[in-house]
Structure 1
Amino acid sequence: MPNIKSAIKRVKVSEKRRLRNASQKSALRTAVKAFETAVTPEALINASKKLDKAASKGLIHKNAANRKKSRLAKKLNALTAQA
């Protein structure tokens, strides 16, 4: 455990951020999995919003978010073209 006041604060702040990041990342994964099972335009919009939000907050890289959104849209378009 740190003894210096600023180091104690850093530990508290970093723990709060870690928990918030873990929660947001979990919600992101849940939204993507919900799209994978449903494959509907509404689920795609929800997953895209979560990906954009995560990228803007620095949770995931911007290009990674765009790549994932592209792959999800590609999956939706392939299924709608079949039907």
Structure 2
Amino acid sequence: MANTPQAKKRIRRNDRRAEVNGNRVGRIRTFIKKVEAALASGDKGAATTALAAAQPELQRGVAKGVLHKNTASRKFARLTKAVTGLA
């Protein structure tokens, strides 16, 4: 257990940051699921629109430090490939 005031404050801050970062990751997952749902339905227009909305969210996750840049790049590349491959 933390004894010093600084350590107690650090625990409070870490809890708050974990909550904020969890919300950020959840938001990114939601945008990705929207793309995947559009892909599953076979609607290329909806998938393209959802992909265009998901891309800035992935980049924001990288900028905020909740995603590694290569992870975001890989996810976006795979989604893009799936959308372009849709007949």
TM-score normalised by the chain length of structure 1: 0.90
Alignment of 1:25-64 (within 5 A): 25-39=25-39, 40-64=47-71
The Cα of 1:72 is off from its aligned counterpart by: 0.6
Of all paired residues, the percent bearing the same amino acid is 35
The Cα of 1:60 is off from its aligned counterpart by: 1.0
The Cα of 1:69 is off from its aligned counterpart by: 0.5
- Paired letter, 2:75: K
Q: Structure 2, unaligned stretches of length 5 or more? A: 40-46
* TM-align CA RMSD: 1.0
Deviations 1:4-49 (A, max 9, x none): 0100110010000000011111111111001100142110011111
Q: Structure 1, unaligned stretches of length 5 or more? A: none
1:73 aligns with 2:80: yes
> For 1:13 and 1:55, how far apart are their aligned partners in 2?
21
Name which structure has the greater RCO, CA cutoff 8 Å, separation 6+.
Answer: 2
TM-score normalised by the chain length of structure 2: 0.86
